[in-house]
Amino acid sequence: MNFLGRFQQLGRAFMLPMIVLPAAAIFLFLSQLPWDLLGIPDTADYLQAAGHAIFTFLPYIFALGVSLGLTGNALAAGMAALAGMVIYVGVTGTADAQIEPTVFVGSIIGMISGFSYERFKNLRLPEYIQFFGGPRFVPLFVSVVTVILSMAMIGVAPLIQRMLEGLGDIVASGGGFGVFLFGFLYRILVVFGLHHLLSHVFWFQVGGYETADGTMVYGDLPRFFAGDPTAGAFMAGMYPIVMFALPAIAFAIIHEAREDLKPKIRKTFLYASLASFLTGVTEPVEFAFLFVAPYLFVVHALLSGIIMWITYELGIRHGFSFSGGVIDYIINEHLATRGWLLIPIGIVVGVVYYVLFRWVINRFRIPTPGREEGSQLDEWAGDIPYRAPLILQAIGGKDNIVQMESCITRLRLKVANEKLLDNNALRNLGAAGVLRLGGGNVQVVFGTYSELIRAEMLKAIERDQEQVLFSSPVQGRMIPLEDVPDPIFAGKLVGQGVAFIPDKGELVSPVKGTVIIVYPTMHAVGLRTQEGLEVLLHVGIDTSKLTGKQYFKAVVQEGQEVMPGDMLIRFDLQRVRKESKSLATPMVITNSDLVHSWRFAPFKAVKKGQSSVLSVVLKERNGGGERP
C-alpha cells in the first residue's frame, strides 16, 4: 500500500473510536439539569460519572477502535489491542512513577494490533502447533510486543510527558497564527480524508492539564471536557464554518441554479446544509465545488483558518465531542468561554460566504450543481438497494475490490485496477467526487449514506445472484422506455429496457455476447448474451424505411462475438434526425421472462460505453442450472 493509501486507512481508523464521544458529552450536559427538583438528585452524579468514565477509558477505546478500523473489524485484532492495553497498565503500574495510559499509547497499541493482524492473519505453523497460527497468533504476538513496549515506557514516559507538554507550549506560543495554520491544513486535508490524522494530534495529544484529583489529561478535547479553561482553541473556530459558512455556500448554489433545476437543487442542498448545520458533516457541500473550482476551495480553506484565528484572539473557547454542529454547540455551551460570540460571528461569516460564492459562481461561470446538468447529490432514500449493484459495476465489479471500508461521508477502497473505475458513471450514481490516491487507493464521496451503500454492496456480493450488467450503447442521454414516441416500444410490447437520445452517430455493444441478427437496413441489431438474454438495439423510430441512402453502416456480422464498447453500427446522425420520427434509440431485452428484477441508473447524460446504466438479475431456472 502506498503512502497516502496507508494514511487514509489510518485516518478512518482514528475516526471510529470518536463515535463514542458524543455519548460522553450528552451525559455531562444532562448532569447539569436540576434532577433534585424531580426527586432523583443522584441522577446527576450518575450521569457525570458515566461521562467521565468514557474519558477515563478513552485509551482503551482508541486501542480497540483503531485496531478494528485498520482491519475491517477483525475480532482477533480487537482482542489483541484490548489485551495489550491491560498488559500495558499492569506493567507500568509497577513503576515508582505514576504513568497514566493516554490516547497516544492506546493509538500506538491499536496500530500495532492492526498491522500485526494484516501481517500474521494467514500465518502457517507446523501442524502440531497450527492452533496458534493465523489470527490466533495476533493476540499472542501483540501481548509480547506490549510487554516490551511497557518496559520501555517506564523509562521514557516522563520524557514523553515533558515532550507533549512542551509541544503544547510551542503551539501555544504560535498564538493565533498556529490556530490559523491548523484550520487551513485541516480543511485542505478534508479533500483526501486525512484530516483526522491532524486533528488527532491537536485534539488528543497536544497540551496537558492536571485535574483536581491529580490526573493528567492531554489534548484540546479531553482538556476541554475536564474543565481546562484554556482548552478549546482548536475547536471553537469550527462552529462558524460548519454552522454558517457551509450552509451559506449551499444557499448560494441553490440561488445560482437554473430555474428549471432549482426545485431539485433546493431539496438536495437544503438537506446538505442541514447536515452541516446540525452534525458538522461538510463534505456534501464542499465537494459540490471542489472539483469544478479547486482554487475556490483553497480560498475556503484560507478563510477557515482566518475565522479560527479571529475566534482565538477574541478569547472564545468552545469544544465538541464529534463535530462543530449546532447539537454539539448547545450540549457543550455550559463548558465554553464566551461561546455566545460564535453566533454573531457565524452570522457575519454566513453573509460573507453567501455574497462571495454567489459572485464567484456567477462571475466565473463555475458549473456548480444546477447550472448545467443538475446536482450529482441525489436524494438516496429508498434507492440505495437498487443503485448499489450499479455502483459495484462502476467500481469494476467485485473482483476489482481488494478492500472496501467506509467512513461517514465516503467509501474508502483499494482496487486491483484503477482503470476499471468509471468516474462518470459514479458521479451519475450520486458520487460528489472520486479521489485517486495512487496504489489502487480510491475514495468515492457519497455523503452520509456511504455506510449504507457499502452495506448494500456487500449484500449484493454475498448474494452473488446471476445478473447481467449493461453499459451505454451511445453517447447522449438515457431516457425511460415509456418516453419513446412509439406505442410499440413505449408499451413494452417488444420487451423491457431503456432508451437513449444519441448525440453522436455511433452505436456500440452494451454487453458481452454474440450478434444474432443485423437488419437489412442496418438500423437495428440483435445480440444474445452468454446468459441467454436477447437484446435488441434499434437506432431511431420509424427508421426501417431509411434505405438506399447510406444512413446506416453495420461494422459487425451475424455470429460475431462482441465485447462491451465494440462498435456495432455507424450512422449519419443529422440525416437520421431529419428524416425519422425520433432519434430515440431503445435498448430492450426481448425475452424479458428470464429477468427477475431490473435496476436502472438515473436518466441523465451518458458517455459511449459508460458502465452501470442498467443491471438485471436473472430468474433461477431448473434449480439454478445452466441457461440456454
Q: What are phi and psi of 445, to 5 degrees?
A: -90, 110
Of 56, 83, 210, 207, the C-alpha closest to 149 is: 83
Strand partners, 438: 441
Strands 401-406 and 410-415, sheet pairing: antiparallel
Question: For residue 216, what are the β-bridge partners?
Answer: 210
Cβ atoms 317, 308 nearer than 8 A: no
Q: Which of 55, 50, 77 is nearest to 64 (CA)?
A: 77
Is residue 407 annotated as a catalytic residue, yes or no? yes
Q: Are 515 and 556 within 8 A, CB to CB? A: yes
Q: What residue ranges in 43-154 does DSSP mark as E strands?
A: none
Cα distance between residue 455 and residue 411, in whole Å: 11
> Who contacts 224 (Cβ-Cβ below 8 Å, separation ≥6)?
231, 232, 235, 317, 319, 332, 335
Report how far apart, in Å, the C-alpha atoms of 35 and of each of 45, 490, 519, 521 are. 10, 66, 82, 84
Closest by CA to 443, choosing from 603, 604, 294, 283, is 283
How many C-beta atoms lie closer than 10 Å to residue 551's C-beta?
A: 22
Residues 95 and 605: their CA atoms lie apart, in Å, by 68
Q: Which of 223-239 are b and which e, b meaning 16 or more Cβ less than 10 Å from the residue's Cβ? A: bbbbebeebbbbbbbbb
The one catalytic residue in 26, 105, 407, 437 is: 407
* Cβ count near 59 (within 10 Å): 25
- Distance between alpha carbon 58 and the CA centroid of its chain, in Å? 26
> Pairing between strand 513-518 and 524-529?
antiparallel
Q: Which residues pair with 617 in a beta bridge?
A: 467, 597
Question: Which residues are part of the catalytic machinery?
Answer: 407
